[in-house]
């Protein structure tokens, strides 16, 4: 298709974004400002993730896009189609085959490898946003590593609910320095942040990029007497029977029928296929 530069963005913009990514990788967890562009989709639909993906995409890449773990939801389908059209890259739904994965709010169940890049769509990059509304002040708090306020939020959770009720966008301390919002992934996924893959976070509306280099320590904040606990719905997947994967609740009818299924559709499908092969 003619008329588009490879992967939609012009080369100067990509260079600007790559610089921000490199800086983010050099200072893990630090929110690097960048000149976010208008993208042909509304804010909140992954404009930050799309720009980061466009900047790191090469023609040889095999791309996978997931939305809440699923390959077949609107956001995933349209972003995948966007890059098929503007970059003519190969796409896949298999986590193991992909070299670049753009994700909204999940980390794939299958462990990532060193030659993969995971790109997150981030709505609000600032973990302190709802505690301290002044951006000048939060920037200063990051600069001086004053993170006591983050624990006030966790304290409030325990005081009100008897346990740390924050279940997604659970703050982590990266490389013992910056406190980072891992985007709204369930806290079940937090332990997977220490991964072999490069992880890049793009927030389009907020114009911030941050990154986790491979195997960067990312410690979920907690109290000594209320330790962090990665949690999911109890039970196993109603389709593949997996007990170790994050489950979505699906309402079946209006008479209270429901089932729990893997949120990671590729993981579920590959388990079903493996079971059929074995049978």
Catalytic annotation, residues: 29, 237, 240, 262, 268
The least distance separating another protein from the CB of residue 159, rounded to whole angstroms, comes to 5
Q: What is the three-class DSSP state of 197?
A: coil
Q: How far is the CB of 156 from another protein (least distance, A)?
A: 5
For residues 147 and 84, give the distance between their C-alpha atoms in angstroms, rounded to a whole number: 42
- The count of other CB atoms within 10 Å of the CB of residue 12 is 8
Which of 79/150 has CB closer to another protein?
Answer: 150
Contact 65, 71 (CB under 8 A): yes
Minimum separation from the CB atom of position 125 to another protein (A): 21
- Say if residues 247 and 261 touch (Cβ distance below 8 Å): yes
**Choice between 68 and 138, CB closer to another protein:** 138
Shortest Cβ 240–another protein spacing (Å): 38
- C-alpha 141/C-alpha 128 separation (Å) is 9
H helix or E strand, kind and range, residue 211: strand 208-212
User: In the complex with another protein, which residue's Cβ is closer, 163 or 244?
Assistant: 163
Closest C-alpha to 181, from 202, 159, 197, 165: 202
- Rounded distance between C-alpha atoms, residue 98 and residue 100, angstroms: 6
Distance CA 98, CA 63 (A): 5
Which residues form the interface with another protein (CB under 8 A)?
Answer: 144, 146, 148-149, 151-152, 155-156, 158-160, 223-226
Nearest to 262 by CA among 245, 275, 244: 245
What are the φ and ψ backbone dihedral angles of 168, each rounded to 5 degrees?
A: -145, 165
User: Which residues are CB-contacts of 104 (< 8 A; sequence separation ≥ 6)?
Assistant: 46, 49, 66, 67, 68, 75, 76, 120, 121
Q: For another protein, give the closer residue by CB, 15 or 129.
A: 129
Integer Cα distance of 70 and 23 in angstroms: 31
Smallest distance from another protein to CB 142, Å: 12
Cβ closest to another protein, residue 220 vs residue 245: 220
Closest CB to another protein among residues 60, 224: 224
CB of 88 to another protein, least distance (A): 50
């Amino acid at each position: 298709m003619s008329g588009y530069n490879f992967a939609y963005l012009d080369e100067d913009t990509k260079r600007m974004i790559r610089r921000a990514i490199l800086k983010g990788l050099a200072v893990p967890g630090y929110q690097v400002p960048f000149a976010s562009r208008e993208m042909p989709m509304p804010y909140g639909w992954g404009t930050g993730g799309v720009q980061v993906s466009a900047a790191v995409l090469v023609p040889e890449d095999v791309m996978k896009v997931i939305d809440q773990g699923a390959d077949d939801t609107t956001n995933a389908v349209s972003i995948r189609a966007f890059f098929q059209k503007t970059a003519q890259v190969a796409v896949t739904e298999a986590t193991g085959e992909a070299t670049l994965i753009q994700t909204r709010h999940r980390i794939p169940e299958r462990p990532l490898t060193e030659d993969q890049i995971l790109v997150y769509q981030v709505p609000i990059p600032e973990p302190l946003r709802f505690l301290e509304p002044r951006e000048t002040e939060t920037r200063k708090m990051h600069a001086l590593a004053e993170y006591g306020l983050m624990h006030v939020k966790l304290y409030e959770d325990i005081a009100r609910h008897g346990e740390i009720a924050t279940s997604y966008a659970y703050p982590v301390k990266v490389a013992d320095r910056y406190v980072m919002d891992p985007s709204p992934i369930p806290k079940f996924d937090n332990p997977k942040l220490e991964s072999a893959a490069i992880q890049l976070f793009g927030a389009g509306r907020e114009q911030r990029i941050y990154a986790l280099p491979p195997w960067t320590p990312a410690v979920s904040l907690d109290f000594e007497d209320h330790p962090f606990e990665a949690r999911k719905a109890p039970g196993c997947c109603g389709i593949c029977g997996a007990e170790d994967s994050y489950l979505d609740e699906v309402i079946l009818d209006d008479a209270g029928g429901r089932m729990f299924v893997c949120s990671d559709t590729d993981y579920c499908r590959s388990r079903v296929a493996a079971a059929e092969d074995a049978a």
